[in-house]
Amino acid sequence: MKVNNNNIQGKVVKDNDTYILEDNNLLTNLTLSKTTLKPQQGTRGHSHEDEEEVYFFTKGYGVMQLGEESFSVQQGDVVLIPMGKFHKVMNPNPVESFEFVCVFQKYDRSSDTAKYVKQAEMMKESKFRVDQYNRNRLPQDMIQDVNEISSDDPQDNAPFGD
């Protein structure tokens, strides 16, 4: 499936005074996440003991902390984050938001501590979401054909996002 930096076709999972966080969880193992960091705000920072992460900066400029090192980042920059390395992003701009897209191992975001989901659970949820995504993109006259060949499992036919 194709998405772009301005519309990752995800769901807003947080919207507060610091940032807007949008996640696309259509893949089995990875999350594509977009952060819009509001003016003069910063992320709390975190690390992943056994996971790597990639940040793609898509709009504006800011400062990235990676371990003990801090450096400028701007639209077009990509930062590779090794396992266990603390990372944080700050937006010093007093007027404009700063945006970045990241790719990381899918995990349960329901608490402040990352809980990585078991592979089998991710595969079932991802298959369901991809099926729903593809159905939503079909012309209306083809939806009946898709419904006729879909699984008898009621979970497979539940509305997207539940």
What would the pLDDT profile of 63-100 be if each residue is shown by its tens digit? 999 999 999 999 999 999 999 999 999 999 999 999 99
Name the most confidently modeled range: 43-52, 59-68, 119-128, 150-159.
59-68
pLDDT at 136 (0 to 100): 58
pLDDT band of 49, cuts 50, 70, 90: confident
Is 147 a residue whose pLDDT tops 80?
Answer: no
Say how far apart CA 148 and CA 131 lie, in whole Å: 13
What residues are paired with 70 via a beta bridge? 65
CA distances from 98 to 18, 20, 36, 73, 147 (A): 11, 11, 6, 10, 41
Nearest to 55 by CA among 26, 76, 28, 86: 76
Is 4 a residue whose pLDDT tops 60?
Answer: yes
pLDDT at 93 (0 to 100): 96
Read off the tokens for 3: 């998405």
The Cα diameter of the chain in Å comes to 57
- pLDDT tens-digit readout, 37-46: 999 999 999 9
What residues are paired with 74 via a beta bridge? 61
Entry pTM: 0.68
pLDDT at 146 (0 to 100): 42
- pLDDT tens-digit readout, 105-146: 887 666 555 544 544 454 455 555 555 555 555 555 544 444
pLDDT at 106 (0 to 100): 81
Q: Where are the domains of the chain?
A: 11-116
pLDDT at 156 (0 to 100): 43
pLDDT at 108 (0 to 100): 63
pLDDT at 66 (0 to 100): 96
What is the DSSP secondary-structure string of the chain? ---BTTB---EEEEESSSEEEEEE--SSSEEEEEEEEPTT-B---B--TT--EEEEEEESEEEEEETTEEEEEETT-EEEE-TT--EEEE---SSS-EEEEEEEE-EE-SSSS-EEPPHHHHHHHHHHHHHHHHHHHS-HHHHHHHHHHS-S-GGGGSPTT-
Say how far apart CA 129 and CA 155 lie, in whole Å: 11
- Fold of domain 11-116: Jelly Rolls (2.60.120)
